[in-house]
A and B are shown apart, each in its own frame.
Chain A
């Protein structure tokens, strides 16, 4: 009486667990967020438009039109976004510019995130004076005003726009490195890392199999935000005239083209501006959604 006899029974009961629960996958959880899904759809549409510009754009983005009849034409069926002062089709130019802007952004982010991941993991994992030295070096990079560095480099060396990739990449990895380092610092104290050390796993294995996969989530989130940032930065540089050089179009340079005639021909600057907003908002929404979808245990 009082004591439950079943608990006393066998010393090690073979327990049968049923595998009935079904946890939602990352994809399913992601799709549950309508805003994030909208962001993803936005990116897909944008990429389709820009990278399929040969199909969608009916005019050569750099071909001058008839200077008497086709300058500053209002948006119409033939020219959905109107024409600029050389009679070029703004729609074609925006799509071509998007192709360049998005390609640059994607390459810059890949470069910056890879550098940041390597730097952050090494710094966080080995700690001590290695960490201290690496972080001071990073502070030095952070303190350096990247935009002036870029302006100087581009002004001194007469470079084409593909050089923006290494320049923006090499000046944009610090945030990722900090995020990764913070994550690694908390991860390496966890018991499963201690267990891995106890099991005799090498540093390389611990880093690549146990630490890096677990700090990718915040990195992905940072990466989507970074894409938006780089699109803006590249536009700003092109607007200032040091990024993508004419006659090649980019969103920033098209806005710059329309700056002087904003009141007379509003369409030249407005449409590329709208595309920048479109891409930045989409990437931010996706970033938000990823952040929530990627944490399986929350």
Chain B
């Protein structure tokens, strides 16, 4: 069942402002049509500048699309006014790329989580501390973190707090915009596992934006590939890895594998893309590399 049905979504940015009129615009997301199924983890991959973050921001309405529609629950989100959208606002959350910037540096972890619940009147004031602890435990932290300020946390811990904050709003759809790209390999894995775990336990729908095909392969149900603002391929993870239909997907896959090989000596890198490793051995295109992976295993 589709949670969101995106049709011909287009987003342009003004590239040059001129007080004499004119100017030009750049189309960053072009005619994207996509169905996001309830409860799935859809990965959105593509190179830097391909428009994946912009698409993600349009989906949670941090940016207004210029054309096209996003249908949720029978209503087109693009047509709703700010006021009409307000009750839906909390259902669409986003997790950001850089955990160093994602938290207010002067707000303690507990205040940060409590603020969300207060604004949305999720629970009474007496229940707040209890709910904050619940959320912290949910993301793999504990109550000793409640009083800390962001600069007292590591990158991975900050990202967990940011995830907890978005969960405090009780969303149905979460866009995770490169949630692991500024974290080191071991933490990266933990955060992806956490997202996967939360998705299953809370029945969330997750759009995981990444440039790292190998990393998302492990948790995504389906993968959408973007290039120059257009969606070039959407397929279930297994079949995309097995038989990529678009040449750009093949290119991405190749480069993901090349990275993989370079890091062949490195334990953490080998540990990362478990799925890729298995699938590559089944993939005839990469047959010649087969022996190297087996050695690494």
Which of B89, B96, B165 makes the CB contact (< 8 A) with A194? B96
B104, A199: Cβ atoms closer than 8 Å: no
A199, B169: Cβ atoms closer than 8 Å: yes
CB-contacts of B93-139 with A (<8 A): 93-94, 96-98, 101-107, 115-116, 119-120
Nearest B residue to A10 by beta-carbon distance? B193
CB-contacts of B138-158 with A (<8 A): 140-142, 144-145, 148-149, 151-152, 157
B116, A214: Cβ atoms closer than 8 Å: no
A12, B193: Cβ atoms closer than 8 Å: yes
Chain B residues within CB distance 8 Å of chain A: 60, 62, 86, 89-90, 92-94, 96-98, 101-107, 115-116, 119-120, 140-142, 144-145, 148-149, 151-152, 157, 162, 165-166, 169, 186, 189-190, 193-194, 196-197, 267-268, 270-271, 296-297
Given contacts A12-B194, A190-B101, A195-B102, contact A3 B140 (CB under 8 A): no
Digit string of A52-91 for contact with B (CB within 8 Å is 1, else 0)?
A: 0000000000000000000000000000000000000000
Which of B104, B144, B157, B190 makes the CB contact (< 8 A) with A12? B190
Chain A residues within CB distance 8 Å of chain B: 2-4, 7-8, 11-19, 21, 23, 190-192, 194-201, 205, 209-210, 213-214, 296-297
B119, A7: Cβ atoms closer than 8 Å: no
Give the docked Cα–Cα distance between A21 and B148 (Å): 11
Give the docked Cα–Cα distance between A4 and B62 (Å): 41
A191, B101: Cβ atoms closer than 8 Å: yes
A213, B103: Cβ atoms closer than 8 Å: no
Given contacts A3-B297, A4-B267, contact A296 B149 (CB under 8 A): yes
Give the docked Cα–Cα distance between A13 and B189 (Å): 11
Q: What are 28 inter-chain pairs, A to B, with CB distance below 8 A?
A: A2-B267, A3-B297, A7-B186, A7-B267, A7-B271, A11-B197, A12-B190, A13-B190, A14-B140, A16-B142, A17-B142, A17-B157, A18-B144, A191-B97, A191-B101, A191-B102, A192-B103, A195-B165, A197-B62, A198-B62, A198-B94, A199-B90, A199-B119, A199-B166, A200-B86, A200-B89, A214-B106, A297-B105
Interface of chain B: mostly helix, strand, loop or mixed = helix
Given contacts A7-B189, A17-B157, contact A23 B152 (CB under 8 A): yes
Give the docked Cα–Cα distance between A198 and B104 (Å): 14
A17, B144: Cβ atoms closer than 8 Å: yes
Give the docked Cα–Cα distance between A297 and B152 (Å): 9
A210, B296: Cβ atoms closer than 8 Å: no
Give the docked Cα–Cα distance between A13 and B186 (Å): 12
Given contacts A3-B270, A198-B92, A200-B86, contact A11 B193 (CB under 8 A): yes
